[in-house]
Amino acid sequence: MKYLIFIFIIFITSCSSSHHAILGSKLGWYVDKYNVKIIKDIKVSNLHIREVRVDNSSCLQGYTHHIELNGPIGADSSSIIRSILEEINKYHKCKSRSGVRYVTDVYLNSNGGLLSHGIKLGKIFRSYGSATIITDNQKCSSACAFAFVGGKYRKMEKNAQLMFHAPYYSQGYGGILCSNRIQMKNLETYFKEMLGLSAGNLLFERTMNYCSRNDGWVINKDAAQIYNIIN
C-alpha cells in the first residue's frame, strides 16, 4: 500500500473572521472553506492535544486528520497520541481514488519532558507511519525533539526550531547532573534506528555536547536539512 503525506497550510491574517490556527502557531486553515472540525480537544494539566479533521476533496473514503500537541511530553502525551492514531488508522484514514492512503500529520510544540516518553512517543509515530511537523513559530525541545525524529516523515517550516540537549538529573539548589554516554546508550541506539547510522551518530554527538536546563543545540529548518534530520 502506498502512503502519501498531505500538508496544506494557509497563512491566517488578522482580518480572517473564521479560522483554525494550529496550537503554538498562527498558521492554519480557513474553517468555512475547508470545513475544519475539531474532533477531540484534550486538556490534561498543561498538556493540550487536538485531533482535527480537514476536508480533502481527493479522499475517496475517510478524511484527512491531523494531531496538534502543545505541552509537556510524558505518560499522558504518549498514551493519548497512541489512542488517537489507532482510531484514525482503523476508521478515518483518507484513501484517494488512486489507492493512496494519507499519513497522519502531527504538529509538535513543546519545551520537553521525560526522556523515556520522548523515545516512546517517537516509536509510536514510526509504528503508525506518521509525519512529525514543527510549523511556523513552534519550538520542539528536549524530549519533544527526541519524539520528533521518530516520524517517518519529518518537516519543519522556516521559523520553526528544534533543540537537543543531553538528559540530566535534578539536584538540590537548582543544580543538575548530566547523563554520560554509557547511561544514554539507548538514546544513541534510538537515533540510529530512526535516522540511520551516519545521521544518528552525528545527532547523538551534538546532543551529548550540551547539558543545560534552558540551552542546547538549537537548529532551524535549513540546518536540520543539512544534518539529515528532516526529509
**Which has the closest alpha carbon to 144: 134, 155, 158?**
134
Q: Which residue has the cell 493519548?
A: 80
pLDDT digits (tens, 9 = 90+) for 99-111: 888 889 999 999 9
Dig out the grid coordinates for 21 from the structure.
490556527
Per-residue confidence (pLDDT) for residue 12, from 0 to 100: 42
Per-residue confidence (pLDDT) for residue 170, from 0 to 100: 66
How many H helices and E strands in the chain?
7, 18
Q: 185-195 and 197-208 helices cross at what angle (nearest 10)?
A: 140
**Which has the closest alpha carbon to 216: 159, 184, 168?**
168
Q: Which amino acid is at 221?
A: K
Dig out the grid coordinates for 8 from the structure.
496544506
Say how far apart CA 215 and CA 132 lie, in whole Å: 23
The whole-number average pLDDT for the span 141-156 is: 97
Half-sphere exposure at residue 204, Cβ-oriented, CA atoms within 13 angstroms: 23
pLDDT digits (tens, 9 = 90+) for 194-218: 999 999 999 999 999 987 767 799 9
Per-residue confidence (pLDDT) for residue 158, from 0 to 100: 87
Per-residue confidence (pLDDT) for residue 8, from 0 to 100: 42
Residue 48 has pLDDT above 50, yes or no: yes
**Which has the closest alpha carbon to 62: 99, 30, 27, 33?**
99
Per-residue confidence (pLDDT) for residue 96, from 0 to 100: 82
pLDDT band at residue 169 under the 50/70/90 scheme: low
Look up the CATH architecture of domain 3-166+214-226.
Alpha-Beta Complex (3.90)
Per-residue confidence (pLDDT) for residue 126, from 0 to 100: 97
- pTM, rounded to two decimals: 0.88
Per-residue confidence (pLDDT) for residue 174, from 0 to 100: 61
- Residue 21: alpha-carbon gap to chain centroid: 16
Q: Which amino acid is at 62?
A: G
pLDDT band at residue 33 under the 50/70/90 scheme: confident
pLDDT digits (tens, 9 = 90+) for 52-65: 998 877 788 777 89
Residue 187 has pLDDT above 90, yes or no: yes
Buried b (16+ CB within 10 A) or exposed e, 48-77: bbbbbbbebeebeebbbbbbbbbbbbbebb
Give CA separation, 187 vs 31, 37, 222, in Å. 40, 37, 24
**Which has the closest alpha carbon to 49: 24, 28, 14?**
24
**For 79, phi and psi rounded to 5 degrees?**
-70, -40
pLDDT band at residue 14 under the 50/70/90 scheme: very low
Per the rule left: phi > 0, alpha: psi between -120 and 50, beta: everything else, 95 is: beta
pLDDT digits (tens, 9 = 90+) for 122-142: 999 999 999 999 999 999 999
Instruction: Kindly report the average pLDDT of the chain as a whole number.
Output: 87
Residue 69 has pLDDT above 50, yes or no: yes
Per-residue confidence (pLDDT) for residue 10, from 0 to 100: 42
Domain ranges of the chain: 3-166+214-226
pLDDT digits (tens, 9 = 90+) for 70-116: 999 999 999 999 999 999 988 777 888 788 888 899 999 999 999 99
Q: Quick check: 227 and 221 in contact, CB under 8 A?
A: no
